[in-house]
Amino acid sequence: MLMVRHIENGTVIDHIDAGKGLEVLKVLGGAGDTTIVLAINVQSKKKGKKDILKLENKFLDKDKMDLIAIISPNTTINVIREGKVVEKINAEMPEEINGVLKCINPKCITNAPREPVTTSFTVKKNPVMLKCKYCSTEFPADMIQLL
């Protein structure tokens, strides 16, 4: 196992599809001032190769876990407190996602300034596609943009 910084408190996002680690980091809103370790193409018994992302002193809410599942299904999220894994969560793909993503259609009413509207997308599987509930535009997971 690759030697990476051990964290006392925070989140380890494991079993990310190889090559998707950067995208996961992007939907988490980048590093900010969090200490982050990203390992790419790590050997894995389960899936050959995988990416791992460690976030020090940072814990994820449901919205963020939903986004991770959309980008890389079958990802495991480990919550670490005082050096121990206190919770292991299998990120599950949500059926819909509200309020965190932007519609890629620039003409969509959800992109119009000052309209009182929250974005809302239906998530379809195999392949993963998002469909805007307002303008009906469909787009693949790798095109998602944060609000």
Partner 1 sequence: MWDRRHVISIDDFSREDIEDVLKNTAKMDEYLEKGNVPELMKGKILATLFFEPSTRTRLSFEAAMQRLGGTVIGFSDPSATSIKKKETTADTVRMAAAYADVIAMRHPYPGAAKLAAQVSSVPILNGGDGSNQHPTQTLLDLYTIKKELGTLDGIKIAMVGDLKYGRTVHSLCTALKLFDATFKFISPEQLRMPDTYKRGLTYEETTELDVSDADVVYVTRIQAERFPDPAEYEKLKGFYVINKKVVSTMKEKSIIMHPLPRVDEIHYEVDSDPRAKYFKQAYYGVPTRMALIAMVMGAI
For position 104 contacting Zn ion by CB under 5 A, the verdict is no
Stretch that binds partner 1, among 12-20, 48-56, 59-67, 106-114 (CB under 8 A): 106-114
Q: Which does 2 bind (CB under 5 to 8 A by kind): Zn ion, partner 1, none?
A: none
For position 46 contacting partner 1 by CB under 8 A, the verdict is no
- 43 or 136: CB nearest partner 1: 136
- 11 or 110: CB nearest partner 1: 110
Phi, psi of 70 (to 5 degrees): -70, -40
Kindly state the smallest distance separating residue 128's Cβ from partner 1, in Å.
15
- Tokens for 26? 């992007």
For position 105 contacting Zn ion by CB under 5 A, the verdict is yes
For position 115 contacting partner 1 by CB under 8 A, the verdict is yes
Burial of 115: CB neighbours in 10 Å, binned 0-12, 13-18, 19+: exposed
The answer to whether 12 touches 54, Cβ cutoff 8 Å, is: yes
Total residues contacting Zn ion by CB under 5 A comes to 7
Residue 75's alpha-carbon distances to 53, 89, 135, in angstroms, are 11, 9, 30
Long-range contacts of 5-8 (CB under 8 A, 24+ apart): 5/35, 5/37, 5/54, 5/56, 6/83, 7/54, 7/55, 7/56, 7/80, 8/80, 8/82, 8/83
Binding flags for partner 1, 63-102, as an x/- string (CB under 8 A): ----------------------------------------
Instruction: List residues binding partner 1 (CB under 8 A).
Output: 103, 105, 107-110, 112, 114-117, 132-138
